[in-house]
A and B are shown apart, each in its own frame.
Chain A
Amino acid sequence: MLTQLQSILSAFELALSQAQDSKAIEALKVRFLGKKGEVQELMAGLKSLSNEEKAAAGKGINELKQQIAQGLEARTEAIKDAEAARLVEDQWIDISLNPEGREAGSLHPITLVHQRLEEIFEAMGYSILDGPHVETDYYNFEALNFDPHHPARDMHDTFFFKSGHLLRTQTSPVQIHGMEQMKPPLRIVSTGKVFRCERLDATHEACFHQIEGMMIDKGINVGHLIHSMKVMLSEVFEREVEVRLRPGYFPFVEPGFELEIACLICGGDGCPACKKLGWVELLGCGMVHPNVLKAGGIDPEVYSGFAFGMGTDRLAMQRYGISDIRHLHNGDLSFNRRFSTASGYRVF
């Protein structure tokens, strides 16, 4: 009997060492511990033994059973681990793919610049206004103190319609609309399209964009203008910007200024980007002309204010390194795609 026990154990250990998967383990379980298994057969052989022998053999069989069961269990664990490891290996995926992704969309650079500007001014308490593109001579010129013979009124610069209307040449008419709608103290800002009769080239467009702003209250002075411009431009360029005024002429402001900023590339020392001047002209501004205040129904004896206007195409071009203004209107996707951060096609 004991030799039988021994040979079964040897056979089991041999088979166990050869079992490579859970199926083989299952087969071993049936072969050795199953109802018709080898150990069960030994049990059947017990009948022919004496009681003493039975006790000894029974004990031996039980030990064998336990040994087999323990062996199977240990081996099962190992095989499961191995199988799991194999499974994981089979589950390798290419994480550089993005099959669920879609192409990222984009906002137009002018939209990005206008939204940023509007955020800044909204935070400073300005109201955002809008005005028509098809304007009247009154709003575009007369109310803005352009005398009847000002050269800017020439057919040369302004698009005129058969109806007698014109396409606004500047966002400044919004100053008048704003003063008509609101009472001082007021702070208004407006972004939008403007039009000039110009031939297309790398820096000129018949249709381009501006931002216009105006602040009116008692005692507003040039210092307030400088402060607002400095805040705006420092926010736009996301760094402290040095600003400087120099004389400039616009009929709707008096005094009128051109505002320059210290070149963002050289900091004012002079470099090719600023034509070695150190300063870059950025916008026109000034104190609102008394005639303009009057046109807006505001008493210039009581109130004063400043106004400014800035081309935003150039700002966007500067901000994003756009070389040619014509890109802004040609609706070419290879241009637009430069303005999306993460496209399903480009992220690995």
Chain B
Amino acid sequence: MKISKNWIQEFVDLPQDLEPAAFSRLMTLRICEVEGVEITGAHLSQVFAAKVLSLRPHPDAEKLRLVTVDHGQGQIELVCGAHNFDVGAMVAYAGLGCVLPGGFEIKKAKIRGVESLGMLCAEDELGFGEDHDGLMLLPPETQPGTALSELFPDQLDWVLEIDNKSVTHRPDLWGHYGFAREFSAVFDVPLKPYPASPPSLDGGPCPIQVKVEVPELVPRYTGLFVEGLAVKPSTPAMRHRLHRVGLRPINNLVDVTNYVMCELGQPMHAFDGSKIAGNQLTIRRGQGEKLMTLYQKEVTLTTEDLTIADAAGPSVVAGVIGGLDSGVAATATSCFLEAANWEPVTVRKSAARIGLRTDASQRFEKALAPETTEPAIWRALELLTHTCPDLKPKGGLSDHWGLEYPEVQVHLSYGFINHLLGTQIDPKEIDRILDRLGYDIQAQGDRLTLTVPPARRAKDLSIPQDVAEDVGRIFGLEKIEPQAALFPVERPQFNRLRQTETRCKKALAQLGFHEIYSYPLTQESTEAPFGLSQDPQLVLLNPVIETQDRMRTSLLPHLAQRIHANQKLGRDFKLFELSRIYHYGPEGPFEPNRLALARAVEPGAEPGKAFYSLKADLIDLLGSLQIPQLRFEPLRNPPDYQHPYIAAEVYSAQTHLGSLFGLSPKGYRSFDLKGEVVLCQLDFDALFAQNKAEYFFEEPSRFPAVNFELSLLVPKRVRYQEVARAIESYNPLVCGVRFLDVYYAKELGEDKSLSVGLQFRAQDRTLSAEETKNLQEGLIAALAERGFQLR
């Protein structure tokens, strides 16, 4: 919405020393957000009235003419392409150096070989309107040389672009008069009364009979029949002003209704006086009729929509848009001027249903004050007489009140306001602010009873906090001093889950993992290859794009996609995501936390490089999180995209935490992955709930250990774990069993060579040479018995 400073100034005297930037800043701080301020008309002091003295054809161009003008400072010949004038016309001449709106600077130019020292301008070039059909013509009696800034002082203006969202709660701020009221409070100057006085009426009945079938949806409907209308262009002043605030001038009737809307925020409509079939208008719900709107779009009126119908049927979607035939003909001599107040939710729903938000519907849905319909009519009448001096009302005002907005009173105290704001504003100052804003004040000691200004009672103001806001913003929020809150020192309440998350993420970054965020939204075809599918309850009714139409049930599918994308840059990396997945159960939706890890490497000579890398990192990570008794077990029933052997379930004691797995050839193919990739998904909630490992000190043996290393021939698919357990269980003096090496070779046949290191150590004595020898031989024999021969 665009707001003109000159227009505001018609209703309130603003200080003389304002600067545009400071004015717009003040407006933002006190009232609502100004997105920008445009200074208009600055160029007009360099544009002058010029009288056309003679015309001759351009020697080289048929469509151009050479125009000699008197611009007050002398005569000059210019090249001109317009033809809407003749000798004697008064035109607008922009001299060299003048910068027109849009940044176009007038320079010495040769047009088809003829030098032109300036430019004769059209309305649009000067910022007056959109007209580019010909030159802007000034009244012939104008003195040549008069600057246009003198002829059109209103054009020297500041136009403020208001963020509509910032006034969505303020029905009173959808017109200039509302802003004027605010500035009267900001600058503590009086607000002028709105210029709308009822004319003398002939006392007869209104020729149009209005019937309101649904008063509960129509707080007020006001209309007046007028005669002596002549449809023609508006005065230049009105056209220019409407253009400045972004409205296109049409004709005097349409322009006046728009003009009043810009002042009061009250939309208006005019019915052609000769086209109201049966001279009767009925305000009712739609009945499924089709209506072609002004924008040439056919809509169906439902019973949820309000419409106004004459004997021939409905002609408007009430509060939103008129029908194609609802306009006033250029030849009309009478009309029925309407200022209505529609129930806001009905209008909002209608506008949403037909997909059209108009200037009118935007305002109606804010809950306008019903009081403004009548002054709107009087103001429109008065403005119309500027172009139609013979205009006069016929019959009385047709005025119908429906749904009531009761008067709103707020009870509070001066102390409350200061307590909430953290201020010490003098009660007199509070009174002054509230009075300027239009509150009716009744004070008794510290107590205040306020009657809310009518323009704001329907929605905006109802509780003491609302009043405190008004006082605070006009007083100046920047004057409120920061204060530290005083709180008792309490036991801190840590979020242990978040602490664990943070520790986990930091540990993973230390281990070289990069954290990614993926979309919690996904689609069926992304999850299906993982054998996953979301409960239909968690499918969106209104997705924005089809690839994001449901909540994910796993972090893995997006992780696989990210691996694929990143493999274009290199094959060696680690990724993780710690986030939520979404399920729907008997109790409703729930959101478990999952940790997903990925390791991608260039493949090595032996399989398992990525697996062992990720396994080592996982042990480091879970160790740093104090997860006790880690175990890796072979996978049970892996799905076909997982590798059956390069895979393990991860346990802490008896708790299953998740799994890590390489991909089967099918997995590589369906996710389009290269190299060697291993994925891991852990149940982070289970991990968090797991008891943390306790650390105990154990007295170490004071006696020396005997180191022993042995290489064993072991069947290929026997896991190291089995061999290590066999060694450990041989004798309590065995300790520190550790893997040294594994060696596969053809000559070993179905076996592999496994080298293991261990120690013999006693708590209470030094082992003798003989004892050691017996232990070693005994161990070798015991292992041979299990099928593990010494190599």
A104 to B574, CA, bound (A): 10
Identity of the chain B residue whose Cβ is nearest the Cβ of A247 in the assembled complex: B473
Contact A247–B31 (Cβ < 8 Å): yes
Contact A255–B473 (Cβ < 8 Å): yes
Min CB distance A263 to B, Å, is: 13
* Residues in B479-535 with C-beta less than 8 Å from chain A: 480-485, 487-488, 490, 492-495, 497-498, 502, 505-506, 508-521
The answer to whether residues A149 and B348 also contact, given A108-B517, A333-B573 and a CB cut-off of 8 A, is yes
Identity of the chain A residue whose Cβ is nearest the Cβ of B578 in the assembled complex: A111
The answer to whether residues A221 and B544 also contact, given A246-B33, A257-B477, A331-B516 and a CB cut-off of 8 A, is no
The answer to whether residues A105 and B508 also contact, given A161-B539, A221-B420, A289-B465 and a CB cut-off of 8 A, is yes
A130 to B497, CA, bound (A): 10
Contact B477–A246 (Cβ < 8 Å): yes
Contact B514–A198 (Cβ < 8 Å): no
Min CB distance A93 to B, Å, is: 24
Indicate if B177 sits at the interface (CB-CB under 8 A): no
Indicate if B28 sits at the interface (CB-CB under 8 A): yes
Contact with B along A326-340 (1 / 0, CB 8 A): 001111111011001
The answer to whether residues A224 and B514 also contact, given A161-B538, A246-B33, A255-B468 and a CB cut-off of 8 A, is no
Chain A residues with Cβ below 8 Å from B565 are 330-332
Identity of the chain A residue whose Cβ is nearest the Cβ of B460 in the assembled complex: A249
Chain B residues with Cβ below 8 Å from A172 are none
How many residues of chain B are within 8 Å of chain A by beta carbon? 90
Contact of A254 among B463, B477, B497 (CB under 8 A): B463
Listed residue (B352, B421, B422) with the most chain A CB atoms within 10 angstroms of its CB: B422
Chain A residues with Cβ below 8 Å from B509 are 104-107, 340
Identify which of B403-411, B432-440, B580-588 touches chain A: B580-588
Indicate if A258 sits at the interface (CB-CB under 8 A): yes
The count of A-to-B residue pairs whose CB atoms sit within 8 angstroms is 228
Chain A residues with Cβ below 8 Å from B473 are 246-247, 255
A83 to B161, CA, bound (A): 84
The answer to whether residues A222 and B421 also contact, given A130-B498, A134-B582 and a CB cut-off of 8 A, is yes
Indicate if A132 sits at the interface (CB-CB under 8 A): yes
The answer to whether residues A133 and B580 also contact, given A224-B422, A224-B483 and a CB cut-off of 8 A, is yes
Listed residue (B348, B487, B506, B572) with the most chain A CB atoms within 10 angstroms of its CB: B487
Identity of the chain A residue whose Cβ is nearest the Cβ of B516 in the assembled complex: A331
Contact B419–A155 (Cβ < 8 Å): no
Identity of the chain A residue whose Cβ is nearest the Cβ of B489 in the assembled complex: A125
Indicate if B32 sits at the interface (CB-CB under 8 A): yes
Q: Which secondary structure characterizes the binding site on chain B? A: mixed
* Residues in A131-151 with C-beta less than 8 Å from chain B: 132-134, 149, 151
A125 to B498, CA, bound (A): 16
A104 to B480, CA, bound (A): 47
Chain B residues with Cβ below 8 Å from A151 are 168, 348
Chain A residues with Cβ below 8 Å from B344 are 149
A187 to B492, CA, bound (A): 11
Contact A332–B28 (Cβ < 8 Å): no
A198 to B542, CA, bound (A): 11
Listed residue (A107, A161, A248, A332) with the most chain B CB atoms within 10 angstroms of its CB: A161
A229 to B510, CA, bound (A): 32
* Residues in A149-173 with C-beta less than 8 Å from chain B: 149, 151, 154-155, 159-163, 165
Contact of A161 among B32, B497, B540 (CB under 8 A): B540
Listed residue (A115, A219, A331) with the most chain B CB atoms within 10 angstroms of its CB: A331
Chain B residues with Cβ below 8 Å from A127 are 493-495
Indicate if B108 sits at the interface (CB-CB under 8 A): no
Contact with A along B552-570 (1 / 0, CB 8 A): 0000001001100110011
Indicate if B469 sits at the interface (CB-CB under 8 A): yes
Contact of B542 among A163, A197, A223 (CB under 8 A): A197
Contact B540–A103 (Cβ < 8 Å): no
How many residues of chain A are within 8 Å of chain B by beta carbon? 78
Contact of A222 among B480, B508, B517 (CB under 8 A): B480
Contact B520–A246 (Cβ < 8 Å): no
* Residues in B407-437 with C-beta less than 8 Å from chain A: 419-423
Indicate if B731 sits at the interface (CB-CB under 8 A): no
Chain A residues with Cβ below 8 Å from B505 are 107, 111
Contact with B along A48-91 (1 / 0, CB 8 A): 00000000000000000000000000000000000000000000
Chain B residues with Cβ below 8 Å from A115 are 502
Chain B residues with Cβ below 8 Å from A163 are 537-538, 584, 588-589
A151 to B348, CA, bound (A): 9
Contact of B422 among A187, A198, A222, A329 (CB under 8 A): A222
Chain B residues with Cβ below 8 Å from A198 are 544
Contact B481–A223 (Cβ < 8 Å): yes
Contact B485–A215 (Cβ < 8 Å): yes
A293 to B438, CA, bound (A): 29
Min CB distance B353 to A, Å, is: 12
Identity of the chain A residue whose Cβ is nearest the Cβ of B462 in the assembled complex: A254
Chain B residues with Cβ below 8 Å from A330 are 565
Indicate if B466 sits at the interface (CB-CB under 8 A): yes
Contact of A223 among B29, B165, B482, B548 (CB under 8 A): B482
Min CB distance A196 to B, Å, is: 9
Nearest 6 interchain pairs by C-beta: A223-B422, A255-B469, A221-B422, A163-B537, A223-B483, A227-B482
Interface contacts beyond A163-B589, A247-B32, A255-B472: sample of 17 additional A-B pairs, CB < 8 Å, sorted by A:
A107-B506, A155-B541, A155-B542, A160-B540, A206-B519, A207-B521, A222-B472, A223-B423, A223-B480, A226-B480, A244-B29, A244-B477, A249-B169, A254-B463, A258-B33, A290-B465, A333-B569
